[in-house]
Amino acid sequence: MKTLKDVPVGSSAVVAKLHGEGPVKRRIMDMGIVKGVEITVRKVAPAGDPLELALRGYELSLRKDEAALVEVV
């Protein structure tokens, strides 16, 4: 299963499915990460985590743990 965590910096992927449950999953969805949206991985923080993403015309920061819940194609 390929997740957002595996997307190399500078490239994009389309969300296929969200894993996980409860508050974290809802929070990820609330921020616009739902099936079908295209996400670009822009950057990684100096310490290697979290990630900086671009989607729906804005920037979002997500830890790798959370990015691993987002299945992409």
Partner 1 sequence: MGIKIALAGNPNSGKTTLFNDLTGSNQYVGNWPGVTVEKKDGLLKGHKDVTIQDLPGIYSLSPYSLEERVSRKYLVEERPDAILDIVDGTNIERNLYLTTQLAELGLPMVVAVNMMDLVDKAGDRIDFAKLGKALNCKVVGISATKGQGCADAAQSALEYAAGGRTGEVPHVFTGEVEHAIAHIEESIQGKVPQESIRWYAIKIFERDKDAIAGLELDPELLAHVEEHIKDCEKELEDDAESIITAQRYAFIQKLMARCVTKNEALRRKVRMSDKIDRVLTHRILSIPAFVAALMAMYWLAVSDNGPGTVLTDWANDGLLGDSGWFLPWSGHDSEKEGSAYAGMSWEDASDAYAKPAASIEAYEAGGGEPVEAWLEDEETGEILEDEDGNPEKWTVDAAAYAAAKAVEEPDPHDFGIWIPGAKAVLGGWLDRWGVEEGSMARALVIEGIAGGVFTVLGFVPVIAIVFLFLSFLEDCGYMARVAFIMDRLFRSFGLSGKSFIPMLVGKGCGVPAVLAARSIENQRDQRMTVILATFIPCGAKTVIIAMFSAVFFREWWWVAALMDLFGIAIIILGGIALKKTRAFAGEAAPFIMELPAYHMPTFRNIVIHTWTRVKAYAIKAGVVIFPCCVVLTLMMTFGWRFQVVDDIADSILATVGGWLAWLTAPLGFGTWQGAAASLSAEIAKEQATATLAMVAGGDGSAAANILAMFKDWGGADYKAVAFSFMLFNLFIPPCIVAVVNTFKEMGTRAWGWFAVGFQMFVGYLLALNAYQFGRLATSGAWGVWTAVAVAADLWVLWMIFRPMPKALKEAA
Closest CA to 13 of 24, 27, 23, 3: 3
Distance between CA atoms of residues 18 and 42, nearest Å: 20
Does 27 bind partner 1 (CB under 8 A)? Our answer is yes
Position among 1, 11, 47, 73 found at the interface with partner 1 (CB under 8 A): 47
Does 19 bind partner 1 (CB under 8 A)? Our answer is no
Position among 12, 31, 68, 71 found at the interface with partner 1 (CB under 8 A): 31
Distance between CA atoms of residues 43 and 45, nearest Å: 7
**For binding to partner 1 (CB under 8 A), which residues are involved?**
18, 22-32, 34-37, 43-50, 52, 56-63, 66
